[in-house]
């Protein structure tokens, strides 16, 4: 059993201190972990990098740290293995989710580093650490490409960004395919959503139904959290 | 990167979908006393012998593995309900019957870890398999309707694991339709041919396949 004066009370405070109202996703009463789960899903399913959830990640990190702390003090005083292992699993699951989120972002960052660096809107979506990472990643990549391949190519074909000097623009920068299709669910009903540039094609989204739509037209809905990807 | 599924098309690995399903709530009947657990993912308990309590599936399975509880399979996982679902599923060829979004993973996890808590496990399992087959058949015949005119596909009640299985194929197919149907691209390639005639050396290079 949990130790009377210490354990339970300490665990209780772990949550009380962290209101999540300051976040942009305060519309629904859900726990931070639930929000992180949704954010992770969206990040995984979206072709481009999404805004970094700075406050959410900060809160999750603090909760994990606090829980770790509490557990280590608790472990010394109590012999209730069962309770301890349940708390351990909870921490492990939350940590996994946090890592998975950060990793999927890194994966996209590596894939589209140059594009992100050159697009202000995307650049702003990165955390400070991610921005540093992009800079270093590109430096290293450039150096490596030059040393191993580019310097050995004929003049005119030595750019990392252009296929040849005659290219009119930088045409060798991988960009996310925004015209891909994604599976999504809308949170409320969204009447006559425009699906193509001309406005010929529209669809009425019903709450909680599952749709496959092109990513570009629903991009803004994802930003305002009216839709989620699955 | 290790541990991540192919980002482009698969999106989630089966294990990741299962991870998400493990957060669904389920009823258990504990056989031990344990105080309320104040966890990061929420508060659960208190646990009292023979008093049912709602917990996330992962917690239920963890307790079950240590023989500290009995799991109450959800209402929809009974022979009666599933027979009805199967019947409705067969009668309505154009829609999917409502089942929990994670029904595949939940039933699978319960069969793996709490088989003795399920009544009529054989029948339940075969019903679930039949339902799965009927639903996949619908998905497959639905695929025939995909065309260049497809801007939106509605798949009401399709479940998470089903989404994950059909996703790579459907997304590839829709992408191809979209690409070949796009007028801009058609025009662009036409102008490419013209400029090629003028000076074959300075044509815009073909766009590389996106990685």
What percentage of chain A carries pLDDT values higher than 90? 60
Measure A56 CA to nearest chain B CA, in Å: 13
Report if residue B1 sits inside a domain: no
Other Cβ atoms within 10 Å of B17 Cβ, number: 22
Residue A61's nearest CA partner among A18, A106, A7 is: A18
Residues of B whose CB is below 8 A from A33: 40-42
Paired tokens of A207: 């709450």
Indicate the average pLDDT of chain B. Answer: 85
Report if residue B210 sits inside a domain: no
β-pairing, B25-30 vs A202-205, is unpaired
pLDDT tens-digit series, residues B121-171: 999 999 999 999 999 999 999 888 888 777 888 999 999 999 999 999 999
Report if residue B143 sits inside a domain: yes
Confidence (pLDDT) at B184: 59
Structural domains present in chain A: 7-111 (1.20.58.1030), 181-229 (3.40.5.60)
Q: How confident is the model at residue B209 (pLDDT cuts 50, 70, 90)?
A: low
Least confident of B96-100, B186-190, B194-198: B194-198
Measure B152 CA to nearest chain A CA, in Å: 5
CB B23 within 8 A of CB A30: no
Residue A157's nearest CA partner among A166, A147, A145, A168 is: A166
Q: Distance between CA atoms of B59 and B91, rounded to whole angstroms?
A: 37
Q: How confident is the model at residue B1 (pLDDT cuts 50, 70, 90)?
A: very low
Q: Distance between CA atoms of B102 and B92, rounded to whole angstroms?
A: 21
Q: Distance between CA atoms of B144 and B142, rounded to whole angstroms?
A: 5
The total domain count for chain B is 1
pLDDT tens-digit series, residues A139-192: 999 999 999 999 999 988 988 888 888 888 888 899 999 989 999 998 888 888
Q: In terms of residue numbers, what domain contains B181?
A: 14-187
Other Cβ atoms within 10 Å of A59 Cβ, number: 20
Q: How confident is the model at residue B40 (pLDDT cuts 50, 70, 90)?
A: very high
Confidence (pLDDT) at B109: 97
Q: Distance between CA atoms of A27 and A225, rounded to whole angstroms?
A: 10
Q: In this complex, which of A86, A104, A211 lies closest to B153 when CB atoms are compared? A: A211
Residue B46 preceded by cis peptide, ω within 30:
yes
Averaged pLDDT for residues A81-103: 95
ipTM: 0.81
Confidence (pLDDT) at B9: 66
> Residue B6, SS3?
coil
Report if residue B93 sits inside a domain: yes
Report if residue B100 sits inside a domain: yes
Report if residue B169 sits inside a domain: yes
Residues in B 2-41 with any Cβ partner in A closer than 8 A: 3-4, 7, 11-12, 16, 19-20, 22-23, 32-41
Q: How confident is the model at residue A79 (pLDDT cuts 50, 70, 90)?
A: low
CATH of the domain at B157: 3.40.5.50
Q: Scanning the structure block, which residue is given the tokens 């695929």? A: B143
Confidence (pLDDT) at B2: 37
Confidence (pLDDT) at B150: 79
Q: How confident is the model at residue B99 (pLDDT cuts 50, 70, 90)?
A: very high
CB A41 within 8 A of CB A29: no
Least confident of A121-125, B24-28, B57-61, B175-179: B175-179
């Amino acid at each position: 059993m949990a130790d009377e004066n210490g354990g339970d009370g300490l665990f209780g405070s772990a949550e009380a201190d962290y209101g999540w109202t300051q976040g942009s996703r305060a519309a629904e009463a859900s726990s931070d972990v639930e929000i992180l789960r949704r954010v992770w899903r969206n990040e995984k399913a979206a072709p481009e990098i999404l805004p970094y959830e700075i406050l959410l990640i900060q809160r999750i990190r603090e909760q994990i740290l606090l829980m770790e702390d509490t557990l280590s003090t608790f472990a010394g005083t109590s012999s209730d293995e069962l309770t301890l292992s349940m708390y351990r699993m909870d921490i492990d699951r939350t940590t996994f989710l946090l890592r998975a989120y950060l990793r999927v972002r890194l994966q996209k960052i590596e894939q589209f580093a140059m594009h992100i660096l050159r697009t202000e809107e995307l650049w702003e979506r990165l955390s400070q650490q991610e921005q540093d990472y992009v800079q270093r990643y590109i430096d290293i990549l450039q150096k490596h490409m030059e040393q191993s391949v580019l310097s050995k190519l004929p003049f005119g074909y030595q750019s990392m960004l252009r296929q040849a000097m005659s290219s009119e623009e930088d045409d060798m920068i991988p960009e996310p395919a925004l015209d891909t299709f994604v599976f999504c669910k809308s949170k409320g009903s969204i009447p006559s959503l425009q699906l193509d540039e001309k406005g010929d094609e529209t669809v009425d989204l019903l709450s909680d139904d599952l749709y496959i739509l092109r990513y570009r037209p629903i991009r803004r809905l994802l930003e305002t959290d009216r839709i989620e990807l699955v | 990167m290790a541990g991540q599924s192919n980002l482009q098309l698969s999106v989630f690995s089966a294990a990741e979908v299962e991870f998400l399903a493990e957060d669904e709530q389920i009823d258990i009947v504990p056989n031990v006393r344990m105080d309320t657990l104040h966890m990061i993912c929420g508060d659960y308990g208190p646990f009292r012998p023979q008093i049912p309590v709602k917990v996330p599936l992962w917690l239920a399975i963890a307790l079950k593995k240590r023989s500290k509880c009995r799991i109450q399979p959800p209402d929809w996982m009974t022979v009666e309900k599933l027979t009805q679902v199967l019947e409705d599923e067969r009668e309505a060829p154009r829609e999917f019957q409502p089942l929990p979004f994670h029904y595949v993973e939940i039933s699978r996890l319960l069969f793996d870890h709490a088989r003795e808590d399920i009544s009529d496990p054989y029948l339940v399992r075969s019903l679930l398999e039949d339902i799965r087959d009927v639903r996949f058949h619908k998905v497959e015949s639905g695929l025939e309707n995909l065309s260049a005119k497809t801007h939106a596909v509605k798949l009401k009640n399709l479940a998470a694991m089903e989404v994950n299985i059909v996703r790579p194929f459907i997304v590839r197919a829709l992408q191809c339709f979209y690409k070949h149907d796009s007028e801009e691209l058609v025009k662009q390639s036409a102008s490419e041919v013209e400029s090629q005639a003028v000076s074959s050396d300075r044509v815009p290079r073909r766009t590389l396949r996106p990685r």
